[in-house]
């Protein structure tokens, strides 16, 4: 039995798709032959042709395509080509978009998988191998189109991560490790290992589909699941023996869940002496846990701020952490020599310009080592998705290819430009603690037209050369330059 996964990577960062890695490894462990048709290294316009060529070359029995919402539009030609030319092969869809928008995918595929896919994909492969494809309709986690009706089967037990087989890293092109998008974070790093240590984020942020996934899986078993420290270490040793390894990326939404967990990771990882990057919630960051992870090799931690306005975080985002907790979490990381990266979102509903300004101000106070701002996009099955639809702010058919485009919501153009400006302020690091940058932020807040000039100085080659001279100016000289530009425009 041959199973071919299709990996549509619209933004094309070099990193393995961990869902496909887990499913492919599970199938291989149980005797199914697996290949990954990786679209990372091909332009979107070439995807359909490449997938068709791979299908003809390898002759799979089952084709599974993993989809996230922002990839759906670019992947639609691939789905249509597969639907038309697949012959007797089974076409299967999975991933977040299949889980939360099954009605959109069901007419395009034979079956879809909701939630954890290990047991469902294996059951589908076994049904096909036994010549009984009709049994697929009764399997847990499966959905399909039956005439005009969408049929969604109940979900089965959540997958127990302790039963995960050794990951088959060779399923992905080695460039996903030797040219990984995070290698730039650790000096001289040449190979990045990527590992999943847990599943099941315990939080209910309104912009995230996690709460919908929890509802879908209610009664299916323990939501928060963690691999043991020894199991995770075996996977790391396996990767290192095959590729070498200078750094690691832990994809877990949260890591510091308990004192026991961080102590366990310290015990099993400290002698590996390999720096790793990870993500964390401010509420979970405590000094003893930070100390444990530092000894385990923690190099950089990404901590979500999302909004610098405490009331907005609490009422709109359901992120119930005070500003002081955020400040303390960054301070603890910095005191223990762990670099910090901040996540911020701009353009959320009811996020006024004053609220966006608070994010800049909080970053100016925290001074993380790096930060990034994304433009809010309402993901299906989230609370904010329902909210923007009710406010008539959103057309679900509009899907950008990334989270850095102009806002997709039905805001006035002037507000969309303000959203883009504040996001760019974060990404251009205007929050850095320097007099010129602080002055630039204040001027742009008062006179947004000036920001175009600031962005030019920060991003264009000629502008960057001039920006280096500006850095040496006094505040008075800098204001004089800005005034000179403004008066020249008016003339």
Torsion of the alpha carbons at 253, 254, 255 and 256, rounded to the nearest 10: 170
| pTM tops 0.85, yes or no | yes
pLDDT at 463: 52
233, 268 Cβ separation under 8 angstroms: yes
Q: Which helix (H) or strand (E) holds 24?
A: helix 18-29
Exposed, middle or buried, 120 (CB in 10 Å: 0-12/13-18/19+)? buried
Residues 293 and 486: their CA atoms lie apart, in Å, by 51
pLDDT at 436: 84
Q: Which helix (H) or strand (E) holds 302?
A: strand 298-306
Three-state SS for 170?
Answer: helix
Helix, strand and coil content of the chain, in percent to the nearest 5, comes to 50, 15, 35
pLDDT at 419: 96
Please give the chain's pLDDT, 491 residues, in tens: 999 999 999 888 899 999 999 999 999 999 999 999 999 999 989 999 999 999 999 999 999 999 999 889 899 999 999 999 999 999 999 999 999 999 999 999 999 999 999 999 999 999 999 999 999 999 999 999 999 999 999 999 999 999 999 999 999 999 999 999 999 999 999 999 999 999 999 999 999 999 999 999 999 999 999 999 999 999 999 999 999 999 999 999 999 999 999 999 999 999 999 999 999 999 999 999 999 999 999 999 999 999 999 999 999 999 999 999 999 999 999 999 999 999 999 999 999 999 999 999 999 999 999 999 999 999 999 999 999 999 999 998 888 777 777 899 999 999 999 999 999 999 999 999 988 889 989 999 998 888 888 888 777 665 555 555 656 666 677 677 767 766 665 55
Residues 415 and 289: their CA atoms lie apart, in Å, by 41
Residues 136 and 111: their CA atoms lie apart, in Å, by 8
pLDDT at 399: 80
List CB contacts of 256: < 8 A, sequence separation 6 or more: 262, 280, 284, 285, 286, 289, 290, 293
> Residue with structure tokens 């003339």?
491
Alpha-carbon separation of residue 250 from 21, 96, 186, 193, 448 (angstroms):
14, 20, 14, 9, 39
Q: Domains along the chain?
A: 2-152 (3.40.50.280), 174-430 (3.20.20.70), 434-491 (no CATH)
What does 196-239 look like in DSSP terms, one character per residue? --EE------TTSTHHHHHHHTTTSS-SSEE--HHHHHHHHHHH
Residues 142 and 102: their CA atoms lie apart, in Å, by 10
């Amino acid at each position: 039995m041959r199973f071919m996964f299709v990996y549509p990577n619209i933004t094309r960062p070099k990193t393995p798709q961990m869902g496909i890695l887990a499913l492919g490894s599970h199938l291989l462990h149980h005797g199914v032959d697996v290949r990954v048709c990786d679209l990372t290294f091909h332009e979107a316009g070439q995807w359909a042709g490449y997938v068709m060529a791979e299908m003809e070359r390898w002759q799979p029995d089952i084709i599974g395509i993993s989809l996230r919402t922002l990839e759906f539009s670019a992947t639609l030609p691939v789905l249509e080509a597969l639907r038309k030319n697949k012959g007797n092969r089974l076409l299967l869809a999975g991933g977040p978009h299949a889980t939360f928008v099954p009605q959109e995918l069901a007419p395009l595929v034979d079956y879809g998988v909701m939630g954890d896919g290990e047991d469902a994909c294996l059951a589908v492969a076994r049904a096909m191998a036994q010549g009984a494809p009709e049994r697929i309709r009764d399997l847990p986690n499966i959905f399909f189109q039956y005439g005009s009706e969408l049929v969604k089967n109940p979900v089965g037990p959540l997958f127990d991560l302790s039963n995960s087989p050794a990951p088959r890293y060779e399923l992905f092109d080695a460039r996903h490790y030797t040219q990984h998008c995070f290698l730039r974070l650790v000096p001289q790093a040449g190979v990045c290992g990527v590992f999943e240590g847990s599943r099941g984020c315990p939080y209910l942020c309104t912009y995230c589909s996690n709460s919908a996934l929890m509802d879908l899986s209610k009664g299916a078993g323990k939501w928060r699941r963690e691999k043991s420290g020894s199991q995770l270490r075996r996977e790391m040793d396996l990767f290192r023996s095959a590729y070498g390894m200078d750094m690691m990326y832990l994809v877990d939404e949260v890591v510091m869940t308990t004192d026991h967990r961080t102590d366990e990771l310290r015990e099993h990882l400290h002698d590996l002496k390999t720096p790793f990057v990870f993500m964390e919630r401010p509420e979970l960051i405590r000094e003893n846990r930070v100390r444990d992870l530092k000894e385990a090799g923690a190099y950089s931690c990404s901590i979500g701020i999302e909004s610098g306005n405490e009331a907005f975080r609490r009422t709109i985002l359901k992120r119930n952490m005070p500003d002081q907790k955020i400040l303390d979490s960054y301070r603890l990381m910095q005191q223990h020599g762990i670099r910090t990266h901040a996540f911020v979102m701009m353009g959320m509903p009811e996020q006024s310009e004053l609220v966006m300004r608070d994010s800049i101000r909080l970053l100016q106070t925290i001074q993380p080592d790096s930060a990034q701002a994304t433009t809010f996009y309402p993901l299906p099955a989230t609370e904010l998705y329902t909210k923007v639809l009710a406010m008539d702010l959103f057309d679900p058919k509009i899907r950008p290819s990334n989270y850095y485009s102009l806002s997709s919501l039905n805001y006035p153009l002037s507000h969309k430009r303000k959203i883009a400006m504040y996001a760019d302020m974060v990404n251009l690091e205007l929050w850095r603690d320097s007099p010129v940058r602080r002055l630039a932020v204040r001027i742009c807040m008062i006179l947004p037209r000036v920001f175009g000039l600031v962005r030019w100085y920060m991003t264009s080659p000629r502008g960057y050369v001039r920006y280096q001279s500006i850095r040496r100016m006094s505040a008075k000289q800098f204001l004089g330059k800005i005034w000179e530009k403004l008066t020249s425009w008016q003339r």
